[in-house]
Amino acid sequence: MARPTKKPNYRSKLEERVCNNLRNRRIDFTYEPYQIAYTTEVRPAYCANCGHKVILKERNYTPDVVLGNGIVVEIKGKFTGEMRTKMLAVRRCNPDLDIRMLFQANNWLTRKKKQRYSDWCERNGFIYHVGEQIPSDWVV
């Protein structure tokens, strides 16, 4: 007798809704399938051994969803400065990856209300969509 597959432990209700929608649409995807290596610069930095002033720290990024066509989709309700810095570093270290952003809403980046999530994506060259469903043209 076949065992039921284990239900993924989603990090947010938004991720769960997006993944359920993909399943309902019979779209090929994997949830948090692997880790992607990237580096960040440690500041302030000084290597006691060699005196170098640039020190890199190796990190790992786990993509929320990878579509069957290889597109990496990061699903965000809130998009903090730390998250923005991480996404830039991931892309800088992995320029061949097609990383796209799916935002629940096009919120303001700061309290001064001068930029929205979409403005950040456009300025930094990320393809994005606002809503809780991955667009059809991303999955063809």
Structural domain that includes position 126: 13-138
Query: 35-45, pLDDT tens digit by residue?
Result: 999 998 877 66
Please tell me the pTM assigned to this model.
Answer: 0.86
Query: 100-137, pLDDT tens digit by residue?
Result: 999 999 999 988 889 999 999 999 999 999 999 999 99
Assess whether pLDDT exceeds 80 at residue 6.
no
Q: Would you say residue 88 lies in a domain?
A: yes
d(CA 103, CA 126): 12
Tally of structural domains, the chain: 1
Count the Cβ atoms, other than its own, within 10 Å of residue 126. 18
Alpha helices in 1-140 (DSSP H): 13-24, 81-93, 117-124
Average pLDDT over residues 46-74: 85
Q: Would you say residue 116 lies in a domain?
A: yes
Give the CATH number, domain containing residue 70.
3.40.91.30
Q: Would you say residue 3 lies in a domain?
A: no
> 51 versus 109: which is more confidently predicted?
109
Q: Would you say residue 8 lies in a domain?
A: no
Q: Would you say residue 38 lies in a domain?
A: yes
